[in-house]
Amino acid sequence: MTKRNKIIYWIATIWLALGMVSTGIVQLIHMKEEVALFTRLGYPAYLLTILAVWKFLGVVAVLIPKYPLLKEWAYAGFFFTMSGAVFSHLAVGDGAIEYFGPVLLLVLTGLSWYFRPADRKTIGNDEFFE
């Protein structure tokens, strides 16, 4: 892994982790603005707690060494969560500002996944991009 790729990986991964933890905290404490947003999107409030716990577990999985298969699941979960957020905002006709957070976290998920070191990959899982 080149130094440039390692820097890209860690910057993307740290920002991804910070984004997931911060949104997870807001969801876990059921901040009134977040509850109102979920209600407007048509989701039940209890989903906030589920998403928060999954985000925290995903951040741990992505940051700890080893366990490449667990990391794949965490990245997939982040991708599904953030792409679901984008499409949920689209479905209710939200403005572009509402897409910024989920799209940013989606991009950071892709960058972190793509530039992760070899010891954080499952064997042969990048053949699609080669």
For residue 49 the two structure tokens come to 């707690």
Alpha helices per DSSP H over the chain: 3-28, 32-41, 46-63, 68-91, 100-114
Model confidence pLDDT, tens digit, residues 71-125: 999 999 999 999 999 999 999 999 989 999 999 999 999 999 999 998 888 875 5
* pLDDT in the model for residue 124: 59
User: Of 110, 104, 103, 108, which is closest to residue 129 (Cα–Cα)?
Assistant: 110
The pTM for the full model equals 0.89
